[in-house]
């Protein structure tokens, strides 16, 4: 009786192994030979599959923090919404234009004190996330944010306030 049970178990293990091998090779061959390209929609000239992917992406937006490969440990402190006092004008920091400010806001960074508390690893994470290599360090965002957080102004922020420099 024990011999029959052990033979059954051995046969099941062999069948499982063979099944995995077959599945692996079938999956590998189908991914290598994916020459199929769907028809192009004649109205707007876009692939219907890509249109559907865009629509799905628009429906379900995942927090962008979790879409990146960088370590979550180095992610700076983020907020889900600005404080009741309103968000700070991050464009007062040299090197932050309206697009970068919008990206920082979508990330959850709204205030000078958030940026002033960044470490070098936080700067690296944000630079990698926003695809701005060495940008935060080059323009010294942390130092400028510390000054602006204390209520003082930098030369650049004064020019922004006086509309001598227009942020685009």
**How does residue 149 score in pLDDT terms, banded at 50, 70 and 90?**
very high
Closest by CA position to 37, among listed 47, 51, 26, 27: 47
Domain count, the chain: 2
CA distance 140 to 77: 18
Write b or e for each residue in 40-66: b if 16 or more Cβ atoms lie within 10 A of its Cβ, otherwise e: eeeeeeeeeeeeeeeeeeeeeeeeeee
- How far is Cα 138 from Cα 144, in angstroms, rounded to an integer? 12
Whose CA is closest to 77, among 19, 162, 158, 142? 142
Whether the pLDDT of residue 39 is over 80: the answer is no
2: confidence class by pLDDT, cuts 50, 70, 90: confident
3-class SS of residue 159: helix
Range of the domain at 95: 64-161
Token couple for 10: 């051995």
Q: Is 86 within a domain? A: yes
pTM of structure: 0.57
Q: How far apart are CA 27 and CA 31, in angstroms?
A: 6
For residue 46, being part of any structural domain is answered with no
For residue 113, tell me if it sits in a domain.
Answer: yes
- What single-letter DSSP state applies at residue 65? G
Contact 116, 149 (CB under 8 A): yes
Whether 152 and 71 share a structural domain: yes
Split at pLDDT 50, 70, 90, the class of 71 is low
- Both 99 and 17 in one domain: the answer is no
Look at residue 166 and tell me if it is in a domain. Answer: no
The pLDDT, as a whole number, for residue 59 is 46
């Amino acid at each position: 009786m024990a011999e029959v049970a052990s033979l059954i178990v051995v046969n099941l293990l062999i069948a499982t192994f063979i099944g995995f091998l077959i599945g692996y090779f079938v999956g590998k061959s189908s991914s290598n030979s994916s020459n199929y390209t769907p028809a192009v929609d004649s109205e707007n000239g876009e692939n219907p599959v890509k249109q559907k992917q865009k629509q799905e992406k628009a429906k379900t937006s995942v927090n962008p923090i979790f879409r990146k490969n960088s370590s979550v440990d180095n992610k700076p402190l983020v907020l889900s919404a600005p404080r009741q006092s309103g968000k700070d004008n991050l464009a007062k920091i040299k090197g932050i234009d309206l697009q970068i400010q919008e990206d920082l806001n979508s990330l959850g960074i709204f205030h000078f004190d958030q940026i002033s508390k960044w470490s070098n690893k936080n700067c690296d994470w944000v630079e990698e996330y926003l695809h701005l290599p060495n940008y935060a360090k080059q323009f010294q965002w942390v130092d400028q944010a510390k000054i602006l957080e204390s209520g003082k102004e930098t030369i650049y922020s004064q020019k922004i306030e006086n509309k001598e420099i227009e942020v685009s």
